[in-house]
């Protein structure tokens, strides 16, 4: 057989060699996933702050945990962290990221740390925020941007413990990275999500602690004849990302859903339905006794104006923790149903954007300060204009000492065709729905209380209605903050969408 002419050899090499190289590159792409759980149970005696009056912890019913999902596409590595806490302050998140980067080399902008907002957990907000904690320069937009480090060496007690445990758990998740498959889906559970802000006919039901009358009220009396209609929508979707080992063994599932449930006795620590969901989902997947352990993560989604109370119905009689288990079982069952149809892929690309957006902080007027000082001197819950006047009005004294503006940490993760948009506050449903509708991803969802905790975040339209979530002290950020945050998140999402 005659050898091919040199020209044909060169042509053949020019066509086939690049194709072979491209095929080899595709075959070399490996997605890896790893997950881990760490314990963040507090010492008894520390204060539970989820109710109107802080209560010392006397008992731990179920574990408080930090749960981590780490992903690596061969080029980029991301870590998603969910903590059973009412709301980790910015400096605690920054310290956890600093420790994580020191231990693993993982860029701080590639770490997403969120709180579930369980109201039966001990507060990690033990350090009074000072002016230089807030006054970071704005970091314009790329992965790898430096995250503020003003918290270094300034945390104490439970804050420092959580920061260290987050860093350790991220490191453990990275240690367990293995070749993986990934998929995503969503379910609906409208029976367990209701808007908690209501228009009411009776003016007395809408009084605020500042001597005025709002258009709406949070958590009105159930079945009250003066109920008119909810003040906003709900988002019943349960979006999730599923990660499996190559052989189909469940590694982790990250979901995002509703507000805390409650029904926990005073003085008792609990992860609320977030922890119960993780346990039940592992059971449904048959992964509750495997090694390494399956990790279920339920993050707080659009929850600033919703809960699971149907105000049109009489309150059912429930034993402690019964409602938590009920909601967790329903949500886990819906995720499991949708999980059956999920197509898991061998590889997807990962990307991230991080930016700090400076927004103004709300300031009390002199009239508000004068009234707050007077009310703070009264005994708790006296007869008066509004039930919790002293408690709520006194909260306006704290923003009076805060700086004029704050640099909010904003972050977008892209995992394949899924976008996760983070908000360092309690996102209202209409804001989350708007983000999902306008984001350039096949599937998108929000995670609230991410990388910081700056109170409730009403939209400008909801601000005009008043209500607890808009009161100064509950709400810390300027009235247009939701709009400004939305604009930044959507711009960053556009920068990392799949082309």
pLDDT digits (tens, 9 = 90+) for 197-231: 999 999 999 998 888 899 999 999 999 999 999 99
Closest CA to 278 of 332, 335, 241, 327: 332
CA–CA separation, 315 and 114 (whole Å)? 31
Please compute the mean of the pLDDT values over residues 244-271 and round it to a whole number.
94
Greater pLDDT, 301 or 144: 301
Confidence of residue 127 (pLDDT cuts 50, 70, 90): very low
Please compute the mean of the pLDDT values over residues 250-261 and round it to a whole number.
91
Q: Average model confidence (pLDDT) for the chain?
A: 88
Q: Is the pLDDT of residue 152 over 60?
A: no
pLDDT of amino acid 5: 55
Distances in whole angstroms, Cα of residue 350 to Cα of each of 70, 218, 268, 417: 11, 40, 40, 9
Element (DSSP H or E) covering residue 343: none
Please compute the mean of the pLDDT values over residues 349-378 and round it to a whole number.
89
Over the stretch 41-61, which tens digit does the pLDDT of each residue have?
999 999 998 877 789 999 999
Confidence of residue 161 (pLDDT cuts 50, 70, 90): very high
Please compute the mean of the pLDDT values over residues 296-309 and round it to a whole number.
94
CA–CA separation, 14 and 17 (whole Å)? 6
**Maximum alpha-carbon separation in the chain:** 106
3-class SS at 446? Answer: strand
Separation of first and last alpha carbons in the chain: 48
Domain segments of the chain as ranges = 32-199+216-358+411-496, 362-401
pLDDT of amino acid 481: 98
Greater pLDDT, 145 or 300: 300
3-class SS at 374? Answer: helix
Greater pLDDT, 384 or 368: 368
pLDDT of amino acid 381: 59
Q: Are 254 and 184 in contact (CB under 8 A)?
A: no
Confirm whether pTM is higher than 0.85.
Answer: yes
pLDDT of amino acid 128: 35
Strands 111-115 and 77-83: parallel
């Amino acid at each position: 057989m005659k050898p091919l002419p040199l020209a044909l050899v060169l042509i053949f090499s020019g066509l086939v060699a690049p194709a072979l190289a491209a095929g080899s590159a595709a075959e070399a792409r490996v997605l890896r996933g790893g997950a881990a759980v760490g314990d963040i149970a507090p010492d008894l005696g520390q204060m539970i702050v989820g109710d109107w009056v802080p209560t010392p912890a006397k008992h731990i019913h179920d574990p408080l945990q930090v749960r981590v999902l780490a992903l690596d596409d061969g080029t980029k590595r991301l870590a998603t962290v969910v903590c059973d806490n009412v709301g980790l302050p910015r400096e605690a998140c920054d310290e956890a990221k600093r420790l994580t980067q020191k231990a693993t080399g993982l860029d701080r902008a590639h770490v997403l740390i969120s709180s579930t907002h369980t109201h039966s957990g001990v507060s990690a907000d033990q350090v009074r925020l000072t002016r230089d904690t807030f006054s970071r320069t704005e970091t314009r937009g790329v992965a790898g941007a430096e995250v503020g480090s003003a918290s270094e060496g300034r945390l104490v007690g439970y804050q420092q413990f959580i920061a260290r445990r987050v860093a350790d758990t991220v490191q453990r998740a990275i240690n367990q990275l293995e070749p993986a498959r990934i998929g995503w889906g969503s379910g609906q559970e409208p029976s367990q999500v209701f808007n908690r802000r209501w228009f009411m006919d009776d003016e007395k039901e809408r009084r605020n602690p500042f001597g005025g009358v709002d258009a709406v009220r949070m958590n009105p009396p159930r079945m009250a004849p003066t109920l008119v209609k909810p003040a906003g929508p709900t988002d019943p979707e349960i979006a999730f990302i599923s990660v499996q080992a190559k052989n189909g063994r469940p590694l982790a599932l990250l979901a995002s859903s509703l507000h805390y449930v409650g029904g926990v006795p005073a003085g008792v620590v609990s992860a609320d339905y977030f922890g119960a969901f993780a346990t039940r989902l592992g059971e449904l997947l048959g992964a509750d006794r495997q090694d390494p352990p399956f990790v279920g993560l339920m993050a707080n989604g659009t929850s600033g104006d919703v809960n699971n109370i149907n105000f049109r119905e009489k309150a059912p009689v429930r034993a402690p923790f019964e409602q938590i288990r009920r909601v967790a079982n329903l949500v886990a069952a819906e995720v499991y149903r949708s999980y059956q149809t999920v197509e898991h892929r061998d590889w997807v690309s990962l990307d991230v954007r991080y930016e700090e957006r400076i927004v103004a902080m709300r300031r009390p007027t002199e009239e508000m300060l004068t009234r707050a000082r007077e009310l703070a001197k009264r005994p708790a819950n006296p007869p008066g204009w509004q039930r919790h006047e002293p408690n709520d009005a006194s909260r306006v004294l704290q923003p009076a000492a805060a700086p004029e503006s704050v640099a909010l940490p904003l972050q977008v993760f892209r995992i394949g065709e899924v976008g996760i948009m983070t908000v360092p506050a309690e996102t209202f449903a209409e804001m989350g729905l708007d983000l999902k509708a306008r984001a350039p991803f096949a599937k998108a969802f929000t995670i609230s209380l991410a990388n910081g905790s700056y109170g409730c975040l009403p939209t400008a339209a909801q601000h005009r209605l008043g209500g607890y979530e808009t009161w100064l002290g509950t709400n810390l950020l300027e009235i247009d903050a939701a709009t400004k945050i939305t604009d930044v998140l959507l711009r960053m999402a556009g920068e990392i969408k799949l082309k």
